[in-house]
Amino acid sequence: MAALDAIIQEIAVVIAVFTALYNISLLSAGIVLARRFDGSLRAQLRPAHEPPVALRAGWGVFVLVPCLNEERVIANTLRCLLDGQPGVRVVVVDDGSDDATARIVRAVGAGRVTLVRRKPPAARQGKGAALNAGLCAVRRLAGEEGRDPGRTLVCVLDADGRMTPGAASRVTRLFEDPAVGGAQLAVRVRGRHRWALRLQDLEFWTLSALTQYGRIATGTVSMGGNGQFSRLSALDGVGPRPWSDSLTEDLDLGISLAARGWTVTSTTAAFVSQQGLTGPRRLLRQRTRWYHGHMSALRRLPELWARPAVGVLGRVELTGYLLVPYVVTLPTSLVQQYLPLRLLLGDGAGTLRLVSGPAWLNVLVWQAPALAAYLVSALLHWRRTDDLPLWKAVCFAPAVMLCMYLGFLACWCALWRIATRRGRWAKTERAVEAPLTSPPATPTVAPGHPARRGPARTPRPKRPGTVRACSRAPRS
């Protein structure tokens, strides 16, 4: 046991060093950058309360919305797009739906939406294949309109996604830099009055978003499946079918852009909201699929290091990102349980004792850093949102541990599926949503300043039960 104890302790040291150098440094950099851009972490909620902004002159934006049996949510998504993003072109890809998705798209779109219908056997071959089919329509439309691929953006929006008003116009400012090939919006989860969705919002809006902001410095922000923007010329450079058949085709695209020397960035001037999952089985299945795709992307490391177009910092950051499941998640799931069990059930000989005293006291001290990290996460989330009292944020801290253990289980499930070569996944169904109103939008002229400065008071959210207009923030 002494040899095993020594190995576990060495692994714990590696985890701590890697977490400090990679995860904590990126999170800290993201906090600094977010405050520099907006004056405070909470001020980034302002885009949800601003009026729509007309698309800037000389730019074209096409929004791709892949759909497979999305009759529950597609109407709200299209209304918010048409009312809140003036000037964008919407292309819906119906990937073999057998519900009323296509009929709803035609009714809501009323000639302003291009519908691409895929039928078996071509349909239902994955999200990447659906996006590639939609991109063919975008290329055709852009060609017919004589658009410059360098000033044409392709946005990917899930069928439940709702961008803040004028998000498309604000994102075009990022692409004034000719080196930028992609951009990813931060994500919020709706329905935050439910604790499971609140925890997912903490993960997306706080930990993930702030870490993504930290990656702006290396130009390697990870592309997500909802609220991702790509320059059309950058997609053309990747190939005729830029989205792969990977389970995380978005991550794959980000790697492909970085490998070709493109910068992938983010912004605090807009965000996208989406539904969350409440059932533990559905949530585990979703996270297992994400880990499966993330862990499978490790095979692209040789490509990244072989391409001179990728800067050294970019290669180091992407390497760290791809190694996280293997260097942090899987080992932590073992180490965090091994040492307490060894102290409680064994004689403790050879194990690391942080304080003199009984085994249970050492267990508490060993778990203290993790509990402190959960508390910091909850407090950061309180600083990032306007609908969570401080006392509730503190109470949510222990619940963050549940998310951690869910991640452990999902990571091991993903490793098992990779080892057994299982790659087929069933689509996660959406929840039913109440119809949103669609008041006439009054877009403002696209502002010329690059970013807002200084803190601003965020309007208080409406009380639960109030139906929000599409040109305002989605109800939480």
Q: CA 206 to CA 202: how far, in whole Å? A: 5
Residue 436 inside a domain? The answer is no
Beta bridge partners of 182: 230, 264
**107 has a pLDDT exceeding 60:** yes
Of the pLDDT bands very low, low, confident and very high (cuts 50, 70, 90), residue 317 is very high
Please report the pLDDT score of residue 372 as a whole number: 85
Residue 384 inside a domain? The answer is no
Nearest partner of 204 among 295, 273, 288, judged by Cα:
273
C-alpha pair distances (Å), 59 with each of 54, 87, 168, 169, 270: 11, 9, 10, 9, 18
Residue 138 inside a domain? The answer is yes
Question: What is the length of the chain?
Answer: 476
pLDDT (tens digit, 9 = 90+) per residue, 277-291? Answer: 988 899 999 999 999
**292 has a pLDDT exceeding 90:** yes
pTM: 0.88
Give mean pLDDT, residues 344-356: 62
By the 8 A CB rule, do 63 and 141 touch?
A: no
Burial class (CB in 10 A: 0-12, 13-18, 19+), 356: exposed
Residue 324 inside a domain? The answer is no
Q: Could you give the percent of the chain with pLDDT greater than 70?
A: 88
pLDDT (tens digit, 9 = 90+) per residue, 4-51? Answer: 777 887 888 899 899 999 999 999 999 999 999 877 888 889 999 999
Give mean pLDDT, residues 394-413: 88
By the 8 A CB rule, do 351 and 5 touch?
A: yes
Q: CA 222 to CA 274: how far, in whole Å? A: 18
Beta bridge partners of 66: 93
By the 8 A CB rule, do 188 and 205 touch?
A: yes
Nearest partner of 85 among 113, 118, 63, 115, judged by Cα:
63
Q: CA 271 to CA 16: how far, in whole Å? A: 32
Please report the pLDDT score of residue 351 as a whole number: 58
Cis peptide before 325 (omega within 30 of 0): no
Of the pLDDT bands very low, low, confident and very high (cuts 50, 70, 90), residue 381 is very high
Torsion of CA 327, 297, 319, 400, to 10 degrees: -50
By the 8 A CB rule, do 181 and 253 touch?
A: no
Nearest partner of 47 among 174, 164, 188, judged by Cα:
164
Provide the token pair at 349.
């000989």
Provide the token pair at 135.
């991109």
Residue type, 181: G
Higher pLDDT, 449 or 180: 180
**431 has a pLDDT exceeding 90:** no
**What is residue 56's three-state secondary structure?**
coil
Spatial neighbors of 54 by CB under 8 A, at least 6 apart, are 86, 87, 166, 169, 443, 444, 445, 446
Q: How many distinct structural domains can be found in the chain?
A: 1
By the 8 A CB rule, do 134 and 118 touch?
A: no
Residue type, 243: W
C-alpha pair distances (Å), 204 with each of 79, 229, 427: 24, 18, 20
Beta bridge partners of 114: 91
Spatial neighbors of 85 by CB under 8 A, at least 6 apart, are 52, 55, 61, 63, 163, 165, 166, 167, 168, 169
Please report the pLDDT score of residue 188 as a whole number: 97
The gap from C-alpha 363 to its chain's centroid, in whole angstroms, comes to: 34
Residue 24 inside a domain? The answer is no
Please report the pLDDT score of residue 449 as a whole number: 40
| CATH number of the domain to which 80 belongs | 3.90.550.10
Spatial neighbors of 63 by CB under 8 A, at least 6 apart, are 81, 85, 88, 89, 90, 91, 155, 156, 157, 168
Spatial neighbors of 368 by CB under 8 A, at least 6 apart, are none
Q: CA 324 to CA 298: how far, in whole Å? A: 10
Higher pLDDT, 126 or 403: 126
Nearest partner of 163 among 475, 476, 471, judged by Cα:
471
pLDDT (tens digit, 9 = 90+) per residue, 224-236? Answer: 989 999 999 999 9
Q: CA 228 to CA 363: how far, in whole Å? A: 43
Residue 474 inside a domain? The answer is no
Please report the pLDDT score of residue 276 as a whole number: 94
**87 has a pLDDT exceeding 50:** yes
The gap from C-alpha 259 to its chain's centroid, in whole angstroms, comes to: 21
Q: Which domain holds residue 131?
A: 41-277
**445 has a pLDDT exceeding 60:** no
Of the pLDDT bands very low, low, confident and very high (cuts 50, 70, 90), residue 443 is low
Give mean pLDDT, residues 368-384: 88
**What is residue 116's three-state secondary structure?**
strand
Please report the pLDDT score of residue 259 as a whole number: 94
pLDDT (tens digit, 9 = 90+) per residue, 451-467? Answer: 443 333 444 444 333 33
Instruction: Concatenate the DSSP letters of all residues of 228-286 into one string.
Output: EEEEHHHHHHH-SS-S-SSTTHHHHHHHHHHHTT-EEEEEEEEEEEE----SHHHHHHH
Residue 32 inside a domain? The answer is no
Please report the pLDDT score of residue 451 as a whole number: 41
Please report the pLDDT score of residue 191 as a whole number: 92
Q: CA 181 to CA 310: how far, in whole Å? A: 13
Mean per-residue pLDDT of the chain: 87
**73 has a pLDDT exceeding 50:** yes
Residue 95 inside a domain? The answer is yes
